[in-house]
Chain A
Amino acid sequence: MAVEGHRPSPIGRGMSTVIRTVVQGVWLGWKVESNWTNPFVFLTYLIAKPIAGVILVGLVFVIGSSASGMGSREDLFFYVFIGAVFFIYPATMTVSLAYLVHEDRAKYESLKHIYITPASLTPYIVGRGMASAINASVSVAVSLIIGSIIFSNHFSLPLSIDVVRVDYPALVASILLGVAASILLGIILYAINLITFKLQYSLAEYTTGVLFLLSGVVFPTSMLPYPASLIGGALPTTHFLNAVREALAGDHAYTSMAYLLLSTLALAVISLACMNRVESLARMKGTIDRKAEY
């Protein structure tokens, strides 16, 4: 039986299936991740945890800087605080996409059924990543506001953001690119977890740990030892955080944004190739519907 009464051109049809799959992914991700049946747990996860993380980073800064007496305290605080807040995007999204394999495969037993639909996995993952980005945005906004209030009132560290000077178009564009880069990183983790079983939980933790060190969250990548600084410079997360800082400060953000765009494109090539390879590898190894190592 023909599924639809009239058939649009194959390209239009292909495109619309991809978009529809993304939309389903977003919708499902929102439903699954925003656990309103247990609002307390959900709000803790969405708000309290990221704020705690940001405050921790801030406090380390306060202690560290008072000991070493470095340059302008405000500027450094701005660097660290914004870095920690916006790092919530890659951290949240890579973790949720890395866990997604295990959730769909073992917990909901739905992965094999999603896999055997004509829809591809990649747009589905992209949709799930976008849902995660919505949650991350809430965490970022709340951390930004509450964190800055706490630090300016209790540690006399005002966040020097002049709302009039902020380059909003650059900020929005940087966030969109940062979200895209985070999804692409998440796809790589998804791909690895799809063909393995040992790293279901740990992979995301390791990755966010390494990203935290290499992306210039609390100190510029130039301060890293040689090969690490090179890797840091190639990561879109580094340029994402720089671009956001510059846009917020009203500085010229376009160099960072250009780097962000380039590194995101490179990452897109890598992660789509990964996914492509892994989809057939998983089918060969039979890992799509297996719940554990055989």
Chain B
Amino acid sequence: MYAVETIDLSRVFELKGRRILALDGINIRIGKGEILGLLGANGAGKTTLVKILSTLLLPTSGSAYIHGHDVVRDAKYVRGIINLVSGGETPGYGMLTVRENLWLFSQLYGLSSGIARERIEMLIRDMGLEQYRDVRMHRLSTGYRQRLNLARGFINDPKVLFLDEPTLGLDVINAKHMRRYIRDWVDADGEERTILLTTHYLAEAEEVCDKIAIIYRGRIVAYETPLALKASLSDGVSIQVELLSNRTTKGSIVEEISSRDGVLACMLVPSQNVVEQGDHGGNARYDGSIDGLTRLRIMLDDDSKIPDLVSMLVMNGYRVLSVRRDQPTLEDVYMRYVGSMGNEES
């Protein structure tokens, strides 16, 4: 029996006469003790899948099971063994203290008061909320409210935990802690605990997940371990090129390269600054440039294509600062399957 299993799961939204196929025949199987990373761009369908699995939304067709129980017909049972944390949200009542907020949910989950008290203390400790135990939630900073939100997700010691972009809005250190915490949590009882985590960050998925599913326009386009995914690219080479140019139209160079023979994928590498911004929940702009410096990540089917590519760039007025061969990363996998990091909403 799988911790999570979906069979041809689809969901259609009707919006002002338009039909949006948010999920299109999803088949996934998550084993007990696994962390599955669901990776996809904005609008790919990640949240929709999580909502169906956490009994908030009904599928249009297909079925989904949590520990063998149908999320539609057996929702009551399923609800007892799952929980959901959405990153960037801070649910709870401002006039209640940290402990009271957790108490409320412990009671809605039907925990006996002894177990509830014990678990609340444990979670308060784990999340570093000790000095805020009896502080009303509206006085906490956003980061601490998010810790409280995460603590709530563990209050019923769920068998399956859904984390929808859990590190959204967290600073780098806190995001790292959270990833470590959830990995340790699963490993502490690999027979019983499972996590499905959605994210935009490849590095995050690579760091904590046993398996990665790439979702693109409501379909799973790749579903492997991080290693196997990377190995699936071994037929190609990845290079990173640094260019200097005065040209302002960055899009055209990517298109130009992508359309060349032998190029499997090409994308702009976000600069360090841009990545930081993204980690803080801001809208990362993947324009990959600071002051005319452009970094490109290019996948070629063969390394004999490298010289041609470089001379093409030079002829187009770019100054090529460096060309470096890289190990394939998950970024490359993503590029290969999805093509671009652009917004999928059309």
- Min Cβ gap B20→A in Å is 10
Beta-carbon contact of B89 and A117 below 8 Å: no
Beta-carbon contact of B84 and A112 below 8 Å: yes
Instruction: Report B-chain residues with C-beta under 8 Å of the C-beta of A118.
Output: 76, 79-80, 108-110
Q: Which one of B79, B90, B107, B110 lies within 8 Å of A109 (CB-CB)?
A: B90
User: Is residue B56 contacting chain A, with contact meaning CB distance below 8 A?
Assistant: yes
- Min Cβ gap A193→B in Å is 17
Which of B91-99, B229-237, B300-308 contacts the other chain?
Answer: B91-99
In the complex, residue of chain A having the shortest beta-carbon distance to the beta carbon of B72: A283
User: Is residue B227 contacting chain A, with contact meaning CB distance below 8 A?
Assistant: no
Beta-carbon contact of A24 and B110 below 8 Å: no
User: Is residue A224 contacting chain B, with contact meaning CB distance below 8 A?
Assistant: no
Q: Which one of B56, B108, B156 lies within 8 Å of A286 (CB-CB)?
A: B56
Known contacts A108-B91, A108-B93, A286-B56; decide if A3 and B111 are in contact (CB<8 Å): yes
Within 8 A of B (CB), among A207-228: none
Beta-carbon contact of B96 and A286 below 8 Å: no
Beta-carbon contact of B15 and A294 below 8 Å: yes
User: Is residue A162 contacting chain B, with contact meaning CB distance below 8 A?
Assistant: no
Q: Which one of B15, B58, B105, B112 lies within 8 Å of A117 (CB-CB)?
A: B105
User: Is residue B54 contacting chain A, with contact meaning CB distance below 8 A?
Assistant: yes
User: Is residue B57 contacting chain A, with contact meaning CB distance below 8 A?
Assistant: yes
Instruction: Report A-chain residues with C-beta under 8 Å of the C-beta of B109.
Output: 3, 117-119
- Min Cβ gap A80→B in Å is 37
In the complex, residue of chain A having the shortest beta-carbon distance to the beta carbon of B111: A3
Beta-carbon contact of A116 and B54 below 8 Å: yes
Beta-carbon contact of A31 and B56 below 8 Å: no
- Min Cβ gap B154→A in Å is 12
Beta-carbon contact of A116 and B56 below 8 Å: yes
Q: What is the CA–CA distance of A294 and B157 in the complex, to the nearest angstrom?
A: 33
In the complex, residue of chain A having the shortest beta-carbon distance to the beta carbon of B79: A118
Beta-carbon contact of A31 and B95 below 8 Å: yes
Beta-carbon contact of B57 and A286 below 8 Å: yes
Which of A21, A32, A283 has the most CB atoms of chain B within a 10 A radius of its CB? A283
Query: Interface residues of B toward A: which range?
Result: 35 or more
User: Is residue B192 contacting chain A, with contact meaning CB distance below 8 A?
Assistant: yes
Instruction: Report A-chain residues with C-beta under 8 Å of the C-beta of B105.
Output: 113, 117
Within 8 A of A (CB), among B38-92: 51, 54-58, 76, 79-80, 82-84, 89-92
Bits for A273-294, please: 1 = Cβ < 8 Å to B, else 0: 0000000100110101100001
Beta-carbon contact of A109 and B89 below 8 Å: yes
Q: What is the CA–CA distance of A179 and B87 in the complex, to the nearest angstrom?
A: 39
User: Is residue B115 contacting chain A, with contact meaning CB distance below 8 A?
Assistant: yes
Instruction: Report A-chain residues with C-beta under 8 Å of the C-beta of B152.
Output: 113
User: Is residue A17 contacting chain B, with contact meaning CB distance below 8 A?
Assistant: yes
Instruction: Report A-chain residues with C-beta under 8 Å of the C-beta of B100.
Output: 31
Instruction: Report A-chain residues with C-beta under 8 Å of the C-beta of B140.
Output: none
Beta-carbon contact of B108 and A114 below 8 Å: yes
User: Is residue B182 contacting chain A, with contact meaning CB distance below 8 A?
Assistant: no
User: Is residue B222 contacting chain A, with contact meaning CB distance below 8 A?
Assistant: no
Beta-carbon contact of B54 and A110 below 8 Å: no
Beta-carbon contact of A108 and B110 below 8 Å: no
- Min Cβ gap A50→B in Å is 23
Instruction: Report B-chain residues with C-beta under 8 Å of the C-beta of A108.
Output: 91-94
Instruction: Report B-chain residues with C-beta under 8 Å of the C-beta of A17.
Output: 110
Instruction: Report A-chain residues with C-beta under 8 Å of the C-beta of B110.
Output: 3-4, 13, 17, 20, 118-119
- Min Cβ gap B55→A in Å is 6
Q: What is the CA–CA distance of A27 and B110 in the complex, to the nearest angstrom?
A: 16
Beta-carbon contact of B56 and A283 below 8 Å: yes
In the complex, residue of chain A having the shortest beta-carbon distance to the beta carbon of B14: A285
User: Is residue B104 contacting chain A, with contact meaning CB distance below 8 A?
Assistant: yes
Instruction: Report B-chain residues with C-beta under 8 Å of the C-beta of A283.
Output: 55-58
Instruction: Report A-chain residues with C-beta under 8 Å of the C-beta of B112.
Output: 3-5
Instruction: Report A-chain residues with C-beta under 8 Å of the C-beta of B90.
Output: 109
Within 8 A of B (CB), among A3-41: 3-5, 13, 17, 20-21, 23-24, 27-28, 31-32, 35, 37
User: Is residue A115 contacting chain B, with contact meaning CB distance below 8 A?
Assistant: yes
User: Is residue A63 contacting chain B, with contact meaning CB distance below 8 A?
Assistant: no
In the complex, residue of chain A having the shortest beta-carbon distance to the beta carbon of B76: A118
Q: What is the CA–CA distance of A117 and B91 in the complex, to the nearest angstrom?
A: 14
* Chain B residues within 8 Å of A, Cβ to Cβ: 13, 15, 51, 54-58, 76, 79-80, 82-84, 89-96, 100, 104-105, 107-112, 115, 152, 156-157, 192
The 5 closest A-B pairs by CB, nearest first: A109-B91, A117-B108, A119-B108, A118-B80, A110-B91
Given contacts A3-B109, A28-B96, 16 further A-B contacts (CB under 8 A): A3-B80, A3-B110, A3-B115, A28-B93, A31-B96, A110-B92, A113-B152, A114-B108, A117-B105, A119-B109, A280-B58, A283-B57, A284-B57, A284-B58, A286-B56, A289-B56
14 A-B residue pairings within 8 Å (CB atoms): A24-B107, A28-B93, A31-B96, A112-B56, A112-B84, A116-B55, A116-B56, A116-B82, A117-B108, A118-B110, A283-B58, A284-B57, A286-B57, A289-B56
